[in-house]
Amino acid sequence: MLRRFRRRTISADQPAAPGSPPGEAGHALRAPSRLHAFNRYEIKYLVDAATAGELRAEMERLLDRDEHSGENGYGIWSVYYDTRALRFYWEKIEGLKFRRKLRIRHYGDRFQVTGDTPVFVEIKQRVNRVTQKRRVRLPYRDAVALCDGRAMVAHGPSERAFLEEVLDLVCRLDLRATAMTGYQRHAYVGRGADVGLRVTFDQRVRGRDRDFHLGADAENRFIVPPGKVIMEVKADEWVPYWLTDLTAERNLQVVRVSKYCQSVEAYGRAPRSLFHIPGHDLDPIPGRPPAMTTAKEA
């Protein structure tokens, strides 16, 4: 069945500012501003690795590979902020029509992160069925000063309102780093009639509940079974017939999965929800919460 969506576009089709993350060309509000904002619909599927391989082969034929993806994809690491009572986590679990989360996100090899490394401070929010994402690119030290140090950082005129919103959220809700996630992504983008379509495959989904410096040599654990891949379809207006047919042929079921929630639950910060991906939880070590198997870094 064809899924057709409508959206209100925030950003025009200017080229992305230098240093934009993979797949975000065309979503800059004003180049060369470091601020980006866009809306889209997102549909997620949980597939096994073999099926993901078959689907990726189809994507290679029908879509263009994201220019940053290469043969091995690219890494994405995110530090999520929440209240002591996990307000943002519970908003997701309860399915509130308006919900949001704050994170610092890095693309690439986290072991190369220094204070000067560009990262993104991002507010991702859901308004009914539409996902809205706003973010600003900052040096890592400034992102930490803003979100952990709760101090305004150097910025351009177009970035001030967003940074003030982040600072207000952090201070008013007493946000703190709560969970970290990381995974390897293969991404494909639409061409021709499918411009605006983006399909991603996230594998080796890992996380941790402490040592939140991006470059820390800390242990991560699988928070999604390593044999499973999260496939996500991201569309500006509609999903084409060929893609809905492809998912129907394989009987793929839409899932409500959040990598942040998976990390929170995997480390025992909250009970397993109805949306928790099962299958790999270990018996807990005495005195420690249940967790997933240890993941060796790629």
CA distances 104 to 34, 65, 88, 295, Å, are 14, 25, 15, 22
Q: d(Cα 222, Cα 206) in Å, to the nearest integer?
A: 4
Single pTM value for the model: 0.83
Is residue 275 helix, strand or coil? coil
Q: Please, what is the average pLDDT of the chain? A: 85
Q: Is the pLDDT of residue 10 over 50?
A: no
Average pLDDT over residues 105-127: 95
Longest dimension (CA), the chain: 56
Average pLDDT over residues 138-144: 98
The lowest-confidence range among 35-49, 93-107, 160-174 is 35-49
DSSP-assigned states of every residue in 106-168? EES-GGG--TTSEEEEEEEEEETTEEEEEEEEEEHHHHHHHHTS-------GGGHHHHHHHHH
Neighbouring CB atoms inside 10 A of 269's CB total: 16
Binned at pLDDT 50, 70 and 90, residue 1 comes out as very low
Is residue 265 helix, strand or coil? helix
pLDDT value at residue 285: 40
Joined together, the tokens standing for residue 48 give 């096994």
DSSP bridge partners of 199: 188, 233
47-51 own/partner pairs: CB under 8 Å, 24+ apart: 47/228, 47/229, 47/231, 47/250, 47/252, 48/227, 48/228, 48/229, 49/203, 49/227, 49/228, 49/229, 51/229, 51/250
Q: d(Cα 221, Cα 182) in Å, to the nearest integer?
A: 10
Q: d(Cα 202, Cα 215) in Å, to the nearest integer?
A: 21
Joined together, the tokens standing for residue 70 give 């290469």
For 215-267, write each residue's pLDDT tens digit.
Answer: 998 999 999 999 999 999 998 878 899 999 999 999 999 999 999 999 999 99
Q: Is the pLDDT of residue 116 over 50?
A: yes
